[in-house]
Structure 1
Amino acid sequence: MNILVVDDNKAVQERLAALIISQGHNVDLAINGLDALGKAQQGNYQLFVIDHLMPLMNGVQLTKNLKADESSSLVPVIFMTTQGKRTLKDIAEYSLFDKVIDKPINEADFITLLSEVIKAYPANSATEVLEANK
């Protein structure tokens, strides 16, 4: 599975990349929402792991843009936040996220969440899902 991790903290990026690779998946990194949009348009990702608060484009706006694009609209999103899941549930866009995890990330919780998302979305790519639904 190809996974794009979007976080403005290099240490968090590297930690998540190591966890994802340890589970047998490929990972690309983006430093902010604008960087992620460019990579998403050029890449074939089956999962996005997106931080909430970032410069230039926050995670909510990035997710809205990804969901508005046909090529990435069906790709699941794990959303990371320091604001707390309960606080985040109050925003209108909460339904855009497939899973939400609190930061700092607990490695065991992240691996469990990653496995849950992969089982729930077994298609190789959003493109395959779109083709299957035609």
Structure 2
Amino acid sequence: MNILVVDDNKAVQDMLCELISSQGHNVDKAINGLDALGKVQQGNYHLFVIDHLMPLMNGLQLTKNIKNNPALAGAKVIFMTTQGMESIKGLAEFSLFDKAIDKPIDTEQFIAVLSELTATNYECDTLQVIG
């Protein structure tokens, strides 16, 4: 499966890319929503892992662009936020997310969400919180 990780925090981005690729997926990364849109036009992605707050184009704007693209109708979105789940549940865009998770990222939770959205079972060798 082709997955795009979009986060302006390089440490989080690198950790997620390593975690996803260790599960057998192809993974690319983008530093913000604008960078991601360029990659979306060039790639064939099945799942997006998108950070909420980023410069140039935030995660909400990027998610709307992805979900409005007919070529990406089946693509899934994991939305990550540092703002807390309660604050994003009230957003009009909340229904566009297939899953939403809090940051810092709990790797066990992330693996469970990834497994659910890709319909595969993974094992997490390490339990840690990254953020």
TM-score, length-normalised on structure 1? 0.87
Partner of 1:51: 51
1:89: Cα distance to partner? 0.3
Where does 1:12-31 land on structure 2 (aligned, <5 Å)? Answer: 12-31=12-31
- Structure 1 CA distance for aligned equivalents of residues 45 and 91 of structure 2: 26
- Name the % identity: 69
- Structure 2 CA distance for aligned equivalents of residues 73 and 36 of structure 1: 17
**Aligned AA (1:72):** L
Cα RMSD of the aligned pairs, angstroms, is 1.0
CA deviation vs aligned residue, 1:50-108 (integer Å, no higher than 9, x gap):
00000000000000011111112320000000011111001111000000010000011
Partner of 1:80: 80
- Structure 2 CA distance for aligned equivalents of residues 76 and 92 of structure 1: 18
More strand per residue: 1 or 2? 2
Partner of 1:8: 8
Partner of 1:123: none
Question: Paired residues, what number?
Answer: 120
- Structure 2 CA distance for aligned equivalents of residues 93 and 42 of structure 1: 25
Preserved contact between residue 21 and residue 27 of structure 1 (Cα < 8 Å): yes
- Structure 1 CA distance for aligned equivalents of residues 61 and 73 of structure 2: 14
**Aligned AA (2:10):** K
1:111 and 2:111 aligned: yes
Which residues of structure 2 form unaligned runs of 5+?
121-131
Between 1:66-75 and 1:106-115, the stretch displaced more is 66-75
Which residues of structure 1 form unaligned runs of 5+?
121-134
Indicate the SS of the match to 1:112.
helix
